[in-house]
Amino acid sequence: MWWLAAISAIAFVLAPTAAKAAAPGSGLALGRLALVAVSNPRPELVSGGEVLVRVDVPRHINPADVQITSDGQDVTSSFQAQSDGSLLGLVTGLTIGRNRLVASANGRFASSLDVIDHSINGPVFSGKQQLPYVCQTTSFGLAASSPPDCFAPTAVSYAYKNTSGTFVPLADPTTIPADAATATVNGQSVPYIVRIETGVIDRAVYQIAALFDGHAPSPLQPDTSWNGKLIYTFGGGCNSGYHQGTSTGGVLDDQFLSLGYAVASSTLNVLDNNCSTIISAEAAMMVKEHFIDAYGPVQFTIGWGGSGGAIQQYEIADSYPGILDGIIPGVSFPDPLTTPFRATTTTRHVGHGMPRSRTGPRLPAAATRRSSRPPSSGARQTRPGSFATPTSRSLSSSGSIPPPASLTARWTTSACSTG
């Protein structure tokens, strides 16, 4: 499996970064406690009313003496000691806006972390949301919903892979069917039963698939059938859309699940539903954050997808570092704008925009036809103007309002697309 070799290479490159992230922070160096937002490396961009937090504890402090508060409310009971001496806890009940978390030990060595919470419906940084907006939650078996948020209660279903290689719906995950296959996770054989969570985040229908060990996901006690790594899939195409979408990048994927990877995606991570890499970045950030809040810390997150899915990976990795740790794009195009631009300008120059030479030969018709043909990819233009601009100048979800300049300046590391 070539992709497994690619992920292994990415993991090797990421290892020093992961070690650095896990190392004692500046607060520890000064003998103080240190608070770290685990589910989102940007605590000012948290959403959904909760955040997974780690408290790094210096060696001279007993973890049992540490007290954590959220806006003055004691939340210490939400934290558990970890093998490395830190404390890990899911802080819930955040209010929209600024929330201050404080950790102290017997009133000393205090450290604080400001977390800014946003609505689970968004937006966080993509700008004013698009209207009108058609809800399509029923396409995924969720309850009917209403615009503009299109929110519906989360649903959990199960499936298993049988020995014939087919995924089959499973009503009772506590009973292992006789024809169930097995998967290998960290060298251990486990029943091939998959938990599939479907809900709405950032007005997108999201899906998360992961092997199920018989227990509900917990950020403090990770599922033993999960290898601690996340694959985030992105779908292709490129279309303007005033709708939620009826497809994700796909999560029920044997090549990943069989090795214990969790897989996540959402309808706004498919450019054929809405060709905005800014919205895709925001949706991926929020869905990944929710996944970590539910399942616990991830070793790394790898992007996966081709064509329009490749465009999203390039743009997100380039402009929004921290969402994806590595990418495996296929059928690559650099961005939504320059791909059709090259095709249309070629058509204009060859077909009718270039003056004919009075003495030179005319271009053969076959050459003109080849030049006027759009790129052979999922990124297709159904009508003039249906492609979004690249990240550095992308339209927001409203189609006209760019992301707030302050956020773009703080997060964007480069305005150039990679390809």
pLDDT number for residue 31: 73
Res 330: pLDDT: 94
pLDDT band at 387 (very low <50, low <70, confident <90, very high): very low
CA distances from 193 to 106, 214, 229 (A): 46, 9, 17
> In terms of pLDDT, which residue wins out, 412 or 70?
70
Q: How far is CA 84 from CA 23, 44, 81, in A?
A: 10, 26, 8
Report the percentage of the chain scoring pLDDT > 90.
68
Q: How would residue 311 be classed by pLDDT, with cut points 50, 70 and 90?
A: very high
Q: Give the residue-averaged pLDDT of 341-352.
A: 44
Taking residues 147-153, report their average pLDDT: 97
Domains and CATH numbers, the chain: 25-118 (2.60.40.10), 137-330 (3.40.50)
Higher pLDDT: 75 or 360? It is 75
The two three-digit tokens of residue 387, written as one number:
């492609």
Is residue 66 predicted with pLDDT exceeding 90? yes
pLDDT tens track for 93-144: 999 999 999 999 988 889 999 999 999 999 999 999 999 999 999 999 999 9
pLDDT over 90 at 267, yes or no: yes
Over residues 239-264, mean pLDDT: 95
Per-residue pLDDT reduced to its tens digit, 186-236: 889 999 999 999 999 999 999 999 999 999 999 999 889 999 999 999 999
pLDDT in the model for residue 29: 52
Looking at the predicted structure, is the pLDDT value of residue 359 above 90?
no
For residue 30, pLDDT over 90 is answered with: no
Average pLDDT rounded to a whole number, residues 315-342:
86
For 345, 348, 349, 367, the CA distances from 362, given in Å and listed in that order, are: 19, 15, 13, 10
Q: Is 197 helix (H, G, I), strand (E, B) or coil?
A: strand
pLDDT for the residue 339: 66
pLDDT tops 60 at residue 295: yes
The torsion region of residue 146 among left (phi > 0), alpha (psi -120 to 50) and beta comes to beta
- 8 Å CB contact between 343 and 373: yes
* Residue 26 scores a pLDDT above 70: no
Residue 405: pLDDT above 50? no
Q: Is 6 helix (H, G, I), strand (E, B) or coil?
A: helix
Half-sphere exposure of 204 (CA within 13 A, CB side): 30
